[in-house]
Structure 1
Amino acid sequence: MIYESSRSITSSTCPEWARRRADAGEPAWIVSWWPEVLLTCGQARDAMELAELCSGPVEPGARAEALAGELGTSVKHVMAVLHQRMMERGR
């Protein structure tokens, strides 16, 4: 489940997050697993949903492919980044 406020987006199923930069207009959102790209609020929410889909125990599926395509990335890339972040956290 995704939780949204005016400044952050978090997940109940994965440790990733999105935060709104206070010093910027749109796009102003930074996502923990993709910090080099500034996103709009809608894109940040999509990125969080994508992180949830790619963090679960089942194949991400068509919804994840669609979200990744809209964001200009791939499910394979997202899964690799999330795996690396998990290894860095010691899991």
Structure 2
Amino acid sequence: MYESSRSITSSACPEWARRRNDRAEPAWELSWWPERLFTLEQAQAGMELAELCSSPEEPGARAEVLARELGTSVKHVMAVLHQRMMERGRP
């Protein structure tokens, strides 16, 4: 992952996180979960989770922990990421 004061990107997946303006925390938006704002730590966890769920291998126990911390499930994240991939025209 690549992190700056305004964004987090990945070389492992096309997802990103960005800080919305100069608002107080939570101020981070995840590309794959735009309905909610996150703290920096949650955005980092969300990006790690996106990387794990975008891998051709099983996401594993670490992904389960991260998903629980964010209040979602690995199954849900994988479904969202798959849908986003289809929308980008990548089956």
**Fold match by TM threshold 0.5:** yes
The range that moved more, 15-24 or 26-35, is 15-24
Amino acid at match of 1:87: M
Which amino acid letter does the alignment assign opposite residue 3 of structure 1? Y
The two structures have a TM-score, normalised by structure 2, of 0.97
**Structure 2 matches for 1:12-91, cutoff 5 A?**
12-91=11-90
* Unmatched runs of 5 consecutive residues or more in structure 1: none
SS in 2 for 1:35: strand
Q: Alignment RMSD, CA only?
A: 0.6
Alpha-carbon distance in 2 for matches of 1:35, 1:24: 16
The whole-number CA distance in structure 1 between the counterparts of 2:22 and 2:3 is 19
Q: CA deviation at 1:23?
A: 4.3
Deviates more, 1:53-62 or 1:17-26: 17-26
* Alpha-carbon distance between aligned partners in 2 of 1:59 and 1:16, rounded to the nearest angstrom: 18
Q: Provide the C-alpha distance between the structure 2 equivalents of 1:68 and 1:20, rounded to a whole number of angstroms.
A: 21
Query: Identity, % of aligned pairs?
Result: 80
CA distance in structure 2 between the aligned counterparts of 1:5 and 1:46, rounded to whole angstroms:
15
Residue of structure 2 equivalent to 1:6: 5
Q: Which consecutive unaligned segments of at least 5 residues does structure 2 have?
A: none
TM-score (norm 1): 0.97
